[in-house]
Amino acid sequence: MGATPAEVRPNPRSLFIVGCARTGSTLLRHVLNRAEGVVIVPETHFMRRVAKRRLARRLGSVREGSLGLGSVVDELYAVDGHSATGYWSWLRRTVSRTDFAERLAATDRSVQALFVLLLDLYVERAADARVPLRIIGEKTPSHLLFVPTLVEWFPAAAVIHTFRDPRAVYASELRRRREGRWGPKRWLPWLPAAIVDPMLGPLEAVRTTLVWRRADLLDGVYRRTLGPRYRLVRFEDLVGNPADELSAICEHLGIPFNAGLLDIDVVGSSFEPGRHAASGFDPATVERWRHHVGPVARAWFRLTLGGRMKARGYRA
């Protein structure tokens, strides 16, 4: 049975897990959710959805009375490429339009209030009402770009930035694109494989370089602006030495560490248990990219990111 808002939100701390895709954010979310009093919401992609649906402007029109609230609720419940699974699919399955509209109408109908409502709805159903909440969090990697907004909305929030060797990120992302789970093969399935496949490697190498470099630069920015509320977590440290790394993360968040956090067997989708792998902490994953990244791609990353990789402890 779900808990009520009053029961689950006495004074928990906010936490946001951000970073490049394929850097261990889902694994970290699952691990921390095993801690008592911690509920971290799966990916909402909220900021992207706000921009795509122009929700800030639409909510402003609702407040002005020129647009009905039902129109916004319909937009939020609509199915598109990013909402067929994940949080938004869960929302449609679990919370009726009527209930959602009533809850949203009771807020100031701002973008911030909408985001808080989305977190509350999940937490109310996931939290154990018998256990006081210590942490309410959310995990969307692309929110790395919106950390200033998140800490403006939640001034005491902690931020964890997951990080990984760019060559491993590249190998993982390229596999998804070759399998058609993301990228051109998913968006343009009618294109012949003979045309698409040769382009995937070079395009992904460039894309990974750009997003990884940006994440590297933002780490410096957030260290300066957020101070002790911010922490970088390398995938290699989390998987290679989970006991020490998780102990440090728990200390950073002010929650107790226990050995049960290490007993994790889920690493995949936040909502589809059947897609989870058999083991969460497999040190072999740290160097697995070496079997999948060819000499040309390796040379590219040495040329474009060599100095930055070395500074982060990644050997060529």
Q: What is the dihedral of CA 289, 295, 300, 305, to 10 degrees?
A: 50
The pLDDT, as a whole number, for residue 8 is: 44
Q: Which two tokens stand for residue 172?
A: 């993982």
Nearest CA to 303 among 219, 206, 204, 200? 206
Chain position carrying tokens 């509920």: 39
Pairing of strands 158-163, 135-139: unpaired
Cα separation of 192 and 188, whole Å? 9
pLDDT, position 57: 93
Task: Note the pLDDT of residue 185.
Answer: 67
**How far is it, in rounded angstroms, from Cα 74 to Cα 63?**
17
Task: Give the pLDDT confidence score for residue 269 in this predicted structure.
Answer: 39
15 in helix, strand or coil? strand
d(CA 238, CA 204): 25
Question: What local confidence, expressed as pLDDT, does residue 83 receive?
Answer: 64
pLDDT value, residue 130? 87
pLDDT mean for each 10 residues of the chain (316 residues): 46 94 93 94 93 91 93 85 76 94 96 97 92 95 98 97 97 88 75 79 96 98 97 95 96 93 60 48 88 96 97 91
Instruction: Return d(Cα 54, Cα 229) in angstroms, integer.
Output: 30
Q: List own/partner pairs for 183-186 with CB under 8 A and 24 or more apart.
A: none
User: What is the Cα–Cα distance from 164 to 23, expressed in whole angstroms?
Assistant: 5
Burial per residue of 26-45, b for 16 or more beta-carbon CB atoms within 10 angstroms, e otherwise: bbbbbbbbebebbbbbbbbb
pLDDT value of position 304: 98
The number of CA neighbours under 13 Å toward the Cβ of 114 is 19
For residue 292, which phi and psi values (nearest 5 degrees)?
-125, -5
Position 194 scores a pLDDT of 75
Q: What is the pLDDT of residue 82?
A: 60
Q: Are 255 and 35 in contact (CB under 8 A)?
A: yes
CA pair distance 290, 270, nearest whole angstrom: 27
